[in-house]
C-alpha cells in the first residue's frame, strides 16, 4: 500500500486529518509528519487515538493493518510501510561552497531547507535541525542510515568528517 497506515485508518473513519486531530486531541502537524514517514514509530497518543476510533469496529482495524504486515500491530504496519517508501527527493551530487556556513547547513541549502532535508531522509525535523545547527556532533544514526539507503554512503562519511572539522574550528 502506498498510503501510510495511520492516514489510511483516519480516512476510513470519514474524517479529515484536521477533524481527526481535533476530535481525538492529537497534533495535526504530528499526523502530517507521520504521513510523510518522518517518525520512526507511531506516537503513543496517535496510536491510542486510532485504537479509540476503531473501538466499535476492530475488524476494520485488523484488516487494514493486515494489508501492511502480518504482525497485527499498528507499530509494525507503520515500520514496514516506512521501510518500503521511496525517497521524496534526492541528495545533491555536490554541496555548494557557502562562506560562513557549516557543511551540514550547506547540504540543507542545497536540498532546499532543513525541513525538505528531513523529508528526503525520512527523519524527524529536530534530528536534522540539531545536526545542521551543530548541536549534535556526530551524524545521527537515522540520518546516516537514510543517506546510505539513498546511495550516499560516501557523502555521509565526508559530511560527517567535514562537519566535525568545521565544529572543531579547523
Question: Could you tell me the residue ranges of all domains in the chain?
Answer: 5-84, 103-167
Measure the CA–CA gap between 138 and 135, rounded to whole angstroms. 9
Does residue 170 register a pLDDT over 80?
no
- Cell triple for 58: 476492530
Cα 160 to Cα 168: distance, rounded to the nearest angstrom: 12
How far is residue 16's CA from residue 22's CA, in Å, rounded to a whole number?
Answer: 10
Rounded mean pLDDT, 147-162: 91
**pLDDT in the model for residue 8:** 92
Read off φ and ψ for residue 144, nearest 5 degrees.
Answer: -60, -45
For the cut 60, the answer to whether the pLDDT of residue 1 exceeds it is no
Place of cell 493493518: 65
pLDDT in tens, 65-112: 988 888 889 999 998 888 787 666 688 888 888 999 999 999 999 999
What DSSP letter does each residue of 82-136 carry, written as one string?
A: HHHPPPSS---SSPPP-TT--HHHHHHHHHSSHHHHHHHHT--HHHHHHHHTTS-
Local structure of residue 28 (DSSP, 8 states)? H
Burial of 140 (0-12, 13-18, 19+ CB in 10 A): middle
Residue 145: name the closest of 134, 135, 153 by CA. Answer: 153
Whether 23 shows a pLDDT value over 90: the answer reads yes
- CA angle, 30 then 34 then 36, to 5°: 120
pLDDT in tens, 24-75: 999 999 999 888 888 888 999 999 999 999 999 888 899 989 888 888 899 9
pLDDT of residue 167 exceeding 90, the answer is yes
Average pLDDT over residues 20-25: 96
pLDDT tens-digit map of 110-122:
999 998 899 888 8
State the pLDDT at residue 141. Answer: 93
User: Residue 31: what pLDDT?
Assistant: 94
pLDDT at position 137 is: 94
Quote the Cα angle for 106-30-163, to 5°. 20
Instruction: Please state, in angstroms and rounded to a whole number, the distance separating the CA atoms of residues 107 and 133.
Output: 12
Q: Give me the percent of the chain exceeding a pLDDT of 90.
A: 57
Amino acid at each position: 500500500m502506498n498510503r501510510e497506515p495511520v492516514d489510511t485508518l483516519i480516512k476510513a473513519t470519514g474524517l479529515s486529518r484536521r477533524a481527526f486531530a481535533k476530535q481525538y486531541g492529537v497534533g495535526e502537524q504530528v499526523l502530517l509528519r507521520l504521513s510523510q514517514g518522518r517518525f520512526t514509530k507511531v506516537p503513543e497518543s496517535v496510536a491510542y487515538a486510532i485504537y479509540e476510533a476503531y473501538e466499535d469496529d476492530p475488524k476494520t482495524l485488523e484488516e487494514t493493518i493486515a494489508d501492511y504486515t502480518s504482525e497485527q500491530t499498528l507499530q509494525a504496519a507503520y515500520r514496514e510501510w516506512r521501510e518500503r517508501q521511496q525517497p521524496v527527493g534526492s541528495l545533491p551530487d555536490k554541496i555548494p561552497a557557502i562562506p560562513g556556513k557549516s557543511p551540514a547547513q550547506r547540504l540543507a541549502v542545497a536540498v532546499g531547507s532543513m525541513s525538505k532535508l528531513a523529508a528526503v531522509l525520512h527523519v524527524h525535523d529536530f534530528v536534522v535541525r540539531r545536526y545542521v545547527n551543530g548541536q549534535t556532533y556526530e551524524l545521527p544514526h537515522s540520518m546516516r542510515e537514510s543517506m546510505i539507503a539513498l546511495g550516499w554512503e560516501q557523502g555521509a562519511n565526508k559530511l560527517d568528517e567535514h562537519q566535525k572539522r568545521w565544529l572543531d574550528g579547523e
